[in-house]
C-alpha cells in the first residue's frame, strides 16, 4: 500500500542487574505497545478523506461553466478584455445572494468563455480537478442555451475546444467525459429546440454528446412545454435529463417525469410528496443531489432541512454531485465529506453512493461493471 513504512523498534540490550532488567523489560513492553499503535495507525485504512478520494466515482451533475474559478476567469479576461479583470474584480462576479442572483453570476462567467481555446482551457482544468478527486467518469452539462441566446454564435467550433480537452483527459488522466447539452428553460422551447437539435446533429460525429437537459428557472417555465422536444431528442438517441424540483414543489418533478426525463437534477421537493417518493423508489429514478448548491442558492435553508438522508433511507437512487463547484465553493470530495459529517453516512454508505453514481451514469454496461468491481474490492 503506498505511504506505508515499517516501524522499527530499538535493539534490546541485556542489562547488568535485576533492577535495570525490569526497567528495560518495562520500556520494551511500552515501546511494543506504542509500536503496535503506530503500526495500526499507519496500516489501518481508516482515513475517511483518503477513502473518499480513492473511491472510483462519477460526477453526473456538473456544469462546465460553473467549474471556472476566479483565477481562470482572470486569465480568460486577459485574453480578450481591453481592461482585464483583476482577481478581486473576477471574484466579485461570483457573488450572489439568492437563486436568481446565482443564475446571473453563472451567465456573467459564461460570457467570458469566448473561443475554442477558452472552452478547452476550462474543460482541461475541470478534468484535472476531477481526476484529483478520484472521479473516473463525468457527465458534464454545457450551457449551449446561454451561448445561443446571449451570444448568437455557432457552437460547434467552441465544442471542438472541449473535445480536445476531453480526449486529453482520457489519454493522460484515464478520465472519461460525456457532454450533456443544456438549454435554459426560461428562454422557452424555441431556444431549447436549437440546443437539442444541435446535439442530435453533432452526436453521430461526436458520440461523447450523450444527452440533453433543461436548467434555468423552473418558477418561470415548467417541463410541459418541452414534451415534444424531449420525444424528438429521445428518437435521435439522446439521453434525457432535467433539473426538476429545485426551486418549485413536487409538481416540477412530476412534470419532468411526465416528459420522459430519465435522471433528475436536484429533486429537492420530492420529500413533500409521499406518492412521488414511492414512484421514485419503485422506478429507481436516479437523483442528482447537490447539497452545497441547494444551501448556497437558498433553495434549501438549512442543512438539517436537506432531504438527502431521508431519500437514501427511503431507498431512492441517490447520487452526490457538485453542480457549479466554483460558485458553491465545493467539489465532489467535499460533497461526500458533507454526507459523512453532516448526514452521518458511514464508509459503506459512501461506497453505495459511489456505486449509485456509476450505475446511474450513461456509460456502457461493461465499463460500469468494471468500475463497480473496483469499488467493491476497495479497502
Ligand atoms: N439549476 C438551474 N440552472 C442552472 C444550474 C442549476 O443547478 N446550474 C447552472 N444553471
Ligand atoms: Zn445544475
DSSP 8-state code for residue 224: G
Q: For residues 193 and 62, what is the distance between their CA atoms, to the nearest angstrom?
A: 22
Q: Which CATH architecture has domain 58-377?
A: Alpha-Beta Barrel (3.20)
User: Is the CB of residue 96 below 6 angstroms from any atom belonging to ligand 1?
Assistant: no
Residue 45, φ and ψ in degrees, nearest 5 = -80, 60
Q: Where are the beta strands (DSSP E) in the chain?
A: 57-63, 135-142, 176-184, 209-215, 239-244, 263-266, 287-289, 318-320
Q: Is 246 a catalytic residue?
A: yes
Tens digit of each residue's pLDDT, the chain (379 residues):
333 322 323 333 445 555 555 555 455 445 544 444 444 444 444 455 599 999 999 999 999 999 999 999 999 999 999 999 999 999 999 999 999 999 999 999 999 999 999 999 999 999 999 999 999 999 999 999 999 988 888 999 999 999 999 999 999 999 999 999 999 999 999 999 999 999 999 999 999 999 999 999 999 999 999 999 999 999 999 999 999 999 999 999 999 999 999 999 999 999 999 999 999 999 999 999 999 999 999 999 999 999 999 999 999 999 999 999 999 999 999 999 999 999 999 999 999 999 999 999 999 999 999 999 999 999 9
Q: How far is the CA of 324 from the centre of ligand 2 (A)?
A: 7
From edge to edge, which strands make up the β-sheet containing 176-184? 57-63, 135-142, 176-184, 209-215, 239-244, 263-266, 287-289, 318-320
Q: How far is the CA of 62 from the centre of ligand 2 (A)?
A: 6
Q: Where are the domains of the chain?
A: 1-43, 58-377
User: Is the CB of residue 293 below 6 angstroms from any atom belonging to ligand 1?
Assistant: yes
Ligand 1 atom 7, closest CA: 323
Q: How far is the CA of 201 from the centre of ligand 2 (A)?
A: 24
CB atoms within 5 A of ion ligand 2 belong to 323
Which residue among 246, 262, 288, 335 is the active-site one? 246
Amino acid at each position: 500500500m503506498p505511504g506505508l513504512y515499517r516501524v522499527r523498534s530499538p535493539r534490546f540490550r541485556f542489562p547488568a542487574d535485576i533492577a535495570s532488567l525490569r526497567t528495560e523489560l518495562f520500556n520494551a513492553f511500552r515501546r511494543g505497545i506504542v509500536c503496535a499503535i503506530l503500526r495500526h495507525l499507519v496500516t489501518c485504512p481508516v482515513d475517511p478523506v483518503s477513502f473518499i478520494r480513492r473511491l472510483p466515482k462519477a460526477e453526473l451533475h456538473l456544469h462546465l461553466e460553473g467549474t471556472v474559478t476566479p483565477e481562470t476567469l482572470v486569465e480568460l479576461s486577459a485574453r480578450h478584455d481591453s481592461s482585464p479583470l483583476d482577481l478581486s474584480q473576477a471574484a466579485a462576479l461570483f457573488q450572489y445572494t439568492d437563486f436568481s442572483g446565482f443564475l446571473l453570476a453563472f451567465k456573467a462567467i459564461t460570457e467570458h468563455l469566448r473561443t475554442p481555446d477558452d472552452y478547452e482551457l476550462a474543460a482541461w482544468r475541470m478534468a484535472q480537478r476531477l481526476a484529483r478527486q478520484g472521479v473516473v467518469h463525468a457527465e458534464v452539462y454545457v450551457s449551449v442555451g446561454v451561448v445561443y441566446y446571449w451570444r448568437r454564435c455557432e457552437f460547434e467550433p467552441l465544442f471542438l475546444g472541449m473535445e480536445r480537452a476531453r480526449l486529453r483527459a482520457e489519454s493522460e488522466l484515464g478520465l472519461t467525459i460525456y457532454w450533456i447539452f443544456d438549454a435554459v428553460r426560461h428562454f422557452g422551447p424555441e431556444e431549447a429546440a436549437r440546443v437539442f437539435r444541435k446535439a442530435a446533429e453533432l452526436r453521430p460525429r461526436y458520440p461523447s454528446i450523450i444527452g440533453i437537459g433543461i436548467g434555468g428557472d423552473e418558477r418561470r417555465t415548467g417541463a410541459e412545454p418541452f414534451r415534444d422536444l424531449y420525444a424528438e431528442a429521445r428518437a435521435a438517441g439522446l439521453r434525457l435529463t432535467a433539473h426538476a424540483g429545485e426551486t418549485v414543489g413536487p409538481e416540477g418533478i412530476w412534470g419532468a417525469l411526465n416528459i420522459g426525463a430519465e435522471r433528475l437534477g436536484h429533486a429537492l421537493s420530492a420529500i413533500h410528496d409521499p406518492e412521488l417518493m414511492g414512484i421514485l423508489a419503485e422506478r429507481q429514478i436516479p437523483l442528482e443531489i447537490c447539497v452545497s448548491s441547494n444551501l448556497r442558492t437558498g433553495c434549501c435553508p438549512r442543512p438539517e432541512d436537506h432531504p438527502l438522508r431521508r431519500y437514501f433511507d427511503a431507498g431512492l437512487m441517490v447520487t452526490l454531485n457538485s453542480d457549479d463547484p466554483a460558485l458553491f465553493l465545493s467539489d465532489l470530495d467535499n460533497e461526500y465529506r458533507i454526507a459523512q459529517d453532516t448526514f452521518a453516512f458511514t464508509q459503506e454508505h459512501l461506497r453505495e453512493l459511489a456505486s449509485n453514481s456509476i450505475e446511474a451514469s450513461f456509460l456502457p454496461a461493461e465499463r460500469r461493471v468494471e468500475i463497480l468491481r473496483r469499488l467493491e474490492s476497495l479497502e
